[in-house]
Amino acid sequence: MRQSIKIKKIFLELIHLIKITLFENKCKLCENDLVFKEEKHICSDCSISIKKKPLNTCNQCGKSISRNLEICGECLVNPPIYIKHLSYSTYENRLRDLILRSKYRENEPLKAISIQYYIETFSKINTIKFDYVIPVPMDKGRDREYDHIFEITKILSKKLNIELEINNLVKTKQTEPQAGLTMAKRLKNLNGAFKLNNPEKIKSKTILLVDDVYTTGTTIKKCSAPLIKAGASVYAITLARSI
């Protein structure tokens, strides 16, 4: 019996090596060979780089803060209108690469990894009863192959068993990319950019808002505003938050 198990193990390892040799299985982020069976789509080094999280974060916005604090100074002085925001990790290194590669072209393996990171992030608030999950609307004027946040939120809706609410929160105007803008310009850029087509539908509902990156929080705040005005409670999750 033991001999049979040993032979089977050797056979499976041999098959794995043959796959690597024939199909040149490469990490989707760094192009290194995937040599271990537990490595799926990205290598161990990239995975470790992505999973480096701040030791302590603000209980409201998710910003990295000192261990002896629960709320950052910014949230104390100017509390966000949403209840809580959570990110999987910081927007740097391989997580930044993963997000950028997923954003501008459809990449199923990286999308699958992203979904797992979102689910792990959501696990911190999974005791809350959410009525709807809503993606941050994409600017229709952007040169993108597809709406990656919508596609990810559609899958999350099924996996988290939360109803997907689409075509309610919409972006009403084309805006400049937020990257590179100052805080003041970010706020001005998104003024009046989001609205609800059916505010009554989300009245008194608890909403899970989904985006990929939280930098200054302007997009999440501007999307939350019409939802909260309509009477909803808003929580937000993203893949990454700026340091």
The pLDDT of residue 182:
53
Question: What predicted TM-score, i.e. pTM, was given to this entire model?
Answer: 0.81
What are the extents of the domains in the chain? 1-50, 54-241
The pLDDT of residue 24:
52
Between residues 28 and 154, the one the model is more confident about? 154
Secondary structure E strands in the chain? 84-90, 132-135, 163-164, 169-171, 194-196, 206-210, 213-214, 233-241
> Which range has the worst mean pLDDT, 75-84, 105-114, 152-161?
105-114
The pLDDT of residue 115:
94
Contact between residue 231 and residue 237 where contact means Cβ atoms under 8 Å apart: no
Tell me how far apart the alpha carbons of residues 222 and 211 are, in angstroms, rounded to a whole number.
Answer: 12
The pLDDT of residue 23:
46
Per residue in 56-65, pLDDT (tens digit) is 899 999 998 9
Instruction: Say if strands 213-214 and 233-241 run parallel, antiparallel, or are unpaired.
Output: parallel
Residue 91's alpha-carbon distances to 49, 111, 163, in angstroms, are 11, 17, 28
Question: CATH fold of 54-241, please?
Answer: Rossmann fold (3.40.50)
State which H helix or E strand residue 93 sits in.
helix 93-104
Is the pLDDT at 224 greater than 90? The verdict is yes
